[in-house]
Amino acid sequence: MRLFNTLTKKIEEFVPNEPGKVQMYTCGPTVYHYAHIGNLRSYIMEDVLEKTLLYNGYEVNRVMNITDVGHLSSDSDTGEDKMVKSAKENNKTVLDIAKFYTEAFFNDFKKLNIKKPKIIEPATNLIPEYIKLISKLLEKGYAYESGGNIYFDTSKLSDYYVLTNHKEDEMVVGARQGVDKDDNKKNQADFVLWFTKSKFEDQELKWDSPWGLGYPGWHVECSCISLKHCGEHLDIHCGGVDNIFPHHTNEIAQSESYLGHKWCNYWIHCEHLNDKNGKMSKSNGDFLTVSLLEEKGYDPLSYRLMCLQSHYRKQLVFTFENLNNAEQTYKKLKQKTLSLTDNGTCDSSAFNHYKGLFLKYINDDMNTSSALTILYDVLKDNISDVTKKELVKSFDEVLSLDLLKQNTNDLDEEFISYVENQIKLRAEAKKNKDFKLADKIRDELKEKKIEIKDTKEGTIWLVK
């Protein structure tokens, strides 16, 4: 399997530290608002990555944090805590806000067929671990106390900018958005490990520490959660490209200074979903959610397909026109896959041929769009329906488009049994040569948006 590694800026063969087993960490959401479909593009990419690893036979230990404290309005440690701000605006406690948006986040996962990571850890769970890591960094001389906060001293590293193209002079105040002046810092690139002093006095969640009552910085949580659940040698760390700097850069600085050795081998980043204003983001307020797409009548899996149609390392521009095209393609695709019968036997040589091609593309830095063309080739081929069905089932382990699942999510059980009963009545009518009644039943179902198809194996039905 080959992956583009942000650390080396090359496509590399993936080799985990322990044969057959992958330690994978993915940065989770800051749960102060709904996830937008841009965030979810990154999580779809990570889902495809985990499923591709599983498809290749690896065991995957995937861990994700939930940021419920410490993520300030700017990623460079300035501004108000995003959680506190949201709690105030909604007249709720920080923990209520975290619970509400965490549930909403995993609801979106379900709708988009994104597998929940094996371990999910809220940041507020591991305060003793953060204190341990920060104490060791202070002891080793990588951190210092200033103005009540504990900072990481980036000048102690020979290559702080290992993951990014940023240069020291870009950290000059005003050179980039989000670089604000903080007189307590020795170097502009230094970042906060523990806050006891914040410009905002109403920080709701605070814990005792050797440096006084305070709360952890955002970056420290991902290092500690990963170290706790994935061990000292991480294989894969993921996120969106905006996480490369400063978040992942800071994670490397603190984890490797703490451990005294290299920490993570592969850094995989998903490019942004943009709208007409540029990167879709929670802070600009104008963003799309999965629920909103549903309200507009879209199947969330059409959005998943739209993401799979492009490469994760290319920016994707969201327009409703693009989504409409993806929705049409998805509907046609499902009509084809749901019409497959159980006719014939499975042709193992055709199966292996197509599975080999699918693997070739998916293993080539997750080339999902080419992998999809193999699916279309299968459906067009002259092989038996059973072979096609087996291949569709196999590919869907990675694509997760519910290609063989009847779309009955929105239908209640009563309606489903009504449809099935009508189909039985129609079969009886046809047996009795009462074609008028049979056609009437078909037309009535059509009016209710149920399409029926007669196959050699019996009658199947589709929701239009």
Nearer CB in complex with ligand AMP: 68/390 = 68
5, 6, 23, 39: which one contacts ligand AMP (CB under 6 A)?
A: 39
The residue at minimum Cβ distance from ligand AMP is: 240
Query: Which residue pairs from 181-185 have beta carbons closer than 8 angstroms and sit at least 24 positions apart in sequence?
Result: 182/77, 182/78, 183/147, 184/146, 184/147, 184/149, 184/151, 185/146, 185/151
d(CA 55, CA 394): 9
Candidates 84, 222, 280, 366; binder of Zn ion (CB under 5 A) is 222
Do 25 and 222 form a contact (C-beta atoms < 8 A)?
yes
Q: Which of residues 221-260 bind ligand AMP (CB under 6 A)?
A: 239-240, 242-243
Q: Are the CB atoms for 221 and 67 separated by under 8 Å?
A: yes
Binding mask 276-315 for ligand AMP (x = CB under 6 A): ---xxxx---------------------------------
Q: How many residues does the chain have?
A: 464
Name the DSSP class of 422: H
Tell me the two tokens of residue 347: 């042709």
Q: Which does 279 bind (CB under 5 to 8 A by kind): ligand AMP, Zn ion, none?
A: ligand AMP
Strand order in the sheet with 234-240: 119-122, 59-66, 21-26, 234-240, 264-270
Given the DSSP bridges, would you call strands 21-26 and 234-240 parallel, antiparallel or unpaired? parallel
The DSSP code for 311 is -
- Of 23-31, 87-95, 133-141, 260-268, the segment contacting Zn ion by CB under 5 A is 23-31
Site size toward ligand AMP (CB under 6 A) is: 18
Q: In angstroms, what is the minimal distance from the CB of 222 to Zn ion?
A: 3
Q: Which is nearer to ligand AMP, 66 or 138 (CB)?
A: 66
Residue 44 is a binding residue for Zn ion (CB under 5 A): no
Nearer of residues 211 and 239 to ligand AMP, judged by Cβ: 239
Q: In angstroms, what is the minimal distance from the CB of 74 to ligand AMP?
A: 12
Give helix then strand counts, H and E, for the chain: 14, 18
Asked if 214 and 115 count as a contact pair (C-beta separation under 8 A), the reply is: no
31, two tokens = 């749960």
- Judged by CB under 6 A, which of 1, 27, 49, 340 binds ligand AMP? 27
Contacts with ligand AMP in 79-138 (CB under 6 A)?
A: none
Residue 29 interacting entry, from ligand AMP, Zn ion, none, C-beta within 5 to 8 Å by type: ligand AMP
Q: Is 14 helix (H, G, I), strand (E, B) or coil?
A: coil
Say which amino acid occupies 138.
L
- The contact set with ligand AMP (CB under 6 A) reads 27, 29-30, 38-39, 41-42, 239-240, 242-243, 270, 272-273, 279-282
Contact footprint for Zn ion (CB under 5 A): 27, 222
